[in-house]
Chains A and B, each alone.
Chain A
Amino acid sequence: MDSAQSLQSAHAGHTAHAAGALRASRTLRSLRSIKRRDNFTGYLFLLPCFAFFGVFLFYPLAKSVYLSFQITNPRGEVAAYAGLDNYASLFASGAAFLATLKATVLFTLYTVPAGIVIALVLAVMTHAKRPAMKAFQYAFSLPVVISAGTGAAIWILLFHPSAGMLNYFLGLLHLKPVFWLADPKWALVSVSMMTVWMNLGFNYIVLLGGLRGISDDIYDSLKLDGPGPFRSAFGVLIPLLSPTLFFLLIVSVIGAFQTFGQIHILTKGGPMDSTNVMVYRIYQEAFVNFRFGSGSAQALVLFAVILALTLAQFFWLEKKVHYQ
């Protein structure tokens, strides 16, 4: 406080002298100092945020870079320097790592397009501001409040091979029961189905917001000019929605690459590693087997993959986005 006061009085003295020939340069200097202090205040406001990111993001990131060059003992303590061994064995393991990568990419392909398209269809059908639509809007956005854990717990009951509802319905249609989670051919599809449903709420809300953001004039002129529902959707609404769709795509792809909860509860990566996506493998390596070294190495590879994918999407797709 003392220093603040003296600063204040010193400053008051300065401004009292502010007259005459030096005025021009003085103004310049004080402008500069204002700017400097402006920046200072800005950083002060950012400080809590930086502190948070520092503790929960930058420090762990730096630590996993460090750990990726080490070998840890069964208690997870650093035992020896490994150099690039962790990365080398990751790529040398070939088949196992590729299987994980394949499961992750397939999972993304199964969930992202389906999740966005279904949400888009539902949003286009129900975005009108009519009271009857409220019920649909409520129902379709509901999954957003359900966590991966709860959602998976619900679906594990539906998927149960002998007592589950899905196979009961198949039975009514005289179809053979499907071993949703126990059959390696089906497990990833089953987990994807559950994920599409779970992401639907978020996708739907975002797209509904996007549709609501389009000016009423456009809807009015669509009504007047009278193109069919397909033309109005593909010719007008979707191009106008493209920033929203682009955002959803980026977020969904990142989300799909980071999926963990439902895998952990539904399949634990099995059967035969068919649902062993990258994050799950990292979890097993680091927190089940306590090999933080190779776990960290894999986490950094995943980081690089996601970064590259996101940059690629910005590079290729953003050109097609229509910003109003």
Chain B
Amino acid sequence: MWKKRKWRRRTILGGLLALTMAFAAACGAEKAGTAAGEAPVDATNQTSPADAASAQPASAEPKAEPVKVVWWHSMSGELGKAIDHLVEEFNESHPDIQVEAAFQGSYDESLSKMKTAMGSGSGPSIVQVYEIGSRFMIDSKTITPIQKFIDEDRFDLSRLEENILGYYTFDGQLYSMPFNTSNPIMYYNKTLFKNAGLDPEKPPATFEEVKAAAQKLTKDGVYGASFALYGWFMEQLFAAQGKEYVDHGNGRDGLAEKSLLADDAGVKVMTWWKDLIDSKVMLNLGRATADTKKAFVAGQVAMTLDSTAALRGIVDGVGGKFEVGTAFLPRPEGAADGGVIVGGASLYILNDRPEAEQKAAWAFIKFLASPEQQAYWNVNSGYFPITKAAYEQDLVKENMKKFPQFQTAVDQLHRTKLNNATKGAVMGVFPEARQIVEGAMEEVVNGAKSPKDALTAAQVQITAKIGDYNKTVK
């Protein structure tokens, strides 16, 4: 009997213990979930403005809670600090709105999180998405086109750069507001140019000139050039020749259906690339621009391609070791007039947020587009100002004096003739297509396939992916 009673007590104790543990575990998991997934969403925001009004009956002095706007971005390091500064400025000057910036990892990572959050009500008010995510964001039907706010507000678009608007205008309207824009330029080592007997003020402009210069520059362990196997460069080199990347007017006259990767333009680029490697004047460092940048800064390669946004880092990294020159993206001799495509990212307002919050988000986006903020952003990030008036700001003028190399980037942007080729291709599966192109570039460079074969295989693959995508959005 004694035994039984003791045993019974144990049962109850055990049961209680187990329950407590299960409960604690559940709580822990729940907490972790909120922290990781939906960090900055404020519960008070989820009530609509009407609810808020009824909950707080019109007293003599309604205590206005600031509207909270959550912004998911992908700017890390110095860029992240610049973002925090912009947000702080805004919050100080707008007591009725509280913007909270949350870093969400790289563009790819952030977009993945966005896809998971879409329609769940736990997403942000504003999200920064890279340019090649545009078609997907529009087709997802989870955003409020920025054009709606522009029309309501009679916001004057003519103060923005035409080339930048060109990229982000689809079916005659803006779905997102451009924020950070860049394009690729060629960086070259002026000191090595001088030593090789080349004119440091006359950088090579064509594929052929690049090869000739690289041959002279390659000696004493230095390579003439190193370009990262980056799909973005392929897209840009199509535009530099004035050629379209996908059909239906580069996907701008209708949903793209076919990749044009294996056209002459692509074969020309890869034949040139492979020739540079075979002639042992170009170093293949793989897909990462971080690696080519490192080699360039270390003076091991004389020419490289990189984003304009890398300028500051390169000039600072080089210090006084040598003189950094910048040049337009090269193109094949006799190529049609082309230019560069605007890269970077834009800001979307999500349509599952309450209207008051979306309006507040628009107020913040407008603030970001103002000349003062764009000047600050340009100087601290190396991205172009999207607002033309920003060039008149002293901050930008001083910066141009300090980094005269940036003028090349601005000129390259302004000299680009706007057409479907230079507006840039549009397709829903762009991120994946870029991976496939990079795979093909690797195959060519490593001699596994001829340029034509590798590009044709990639073109077939991309066309199939586009087909699958189109089926799900029609």
Contacts from A to B (Cβ < 8 Å): 4, 8, 11-12, 15, 34, 37, 40-41, 44-45, 47-48, 51-52, 55, 73-76, 79, 160-163, 179, 181-184, 268, 270-273, 284, 287-290
Contacts and interface: CB of A to CB of B under 8 A. Distances in A.
A64 B473 CA distance: 24
Contact of B295 (A34, A74, A162, A273): A162
* Size band of the interface chain B makes with A: 35 or more
Given A34-B7, A51-B22, A74-B139, 11 more contacts: A45-B18, A47-B22, A74-B469, A75-B118, A179-B285, A182-B291, A184-B446, A270-B442, A284-B435, A287-B112, A288-B112
B446 A272 contact: yes
Nearest to B140: A75
Interface in B422-474: 428-429, 431-432, 435, 438-439, 442-443, 446, 448, 469, 472-473
Given A52-B25, A162-B300, A41 B15 contact: yes
Given A76-B115, A182-B286, A160 B21 contact: no
Contacts of A52: 25
A44 B285 contact: no
25 contacts: A12-B1, A15-B1, A37-B11, A41-B10, A41-B11, A41-B14, A44-B14, A44-B18, A45-B18, A47-B22, A51-B26, A75-B140, A76-B115, A160-B294, A162-B298, A162-B301, A163-B295, A182-B284, A184-B446, A184-B448, A270-B287, A270-B442, A271-B442, A272-B448, A273-B439
Interface string B289-301: 0010011001011
A181 B286 contact: yes
- Of all A-B residue pairs in the complex, the 9 with the closest CB atoms, nearest first, are A182-B286, A73-B472, A271-B442, A162-B295, A48-B21, A44-B18, A48-B22, A162-B300, A272-B442
Dominant SS among interface residues on chain B: helix
B76 to A, nearest CB: 15
Nearest to A47: B18
Contacts of B12: 4
Contacts of B394: none
A44 B17 CA distance: 9
A48 B294 contact: no
Contact of A163 (B17, B18, B116, B294): B294
Nearest to B447: A184
A8 B7 CA distance: 11
B148 interface: no
A304 B439 CA distance: 29
B323 interface: no
B273 to A, nearest CB: 14
Given A41-B11, A48-B18, A75-B140, A184 B115 contact: no
Contacts of B300: 162-163
Interface in B1-56: 1, 4-5, 7-8, 10-12, 14-15, 17-18, 21-22, 25-26, 29
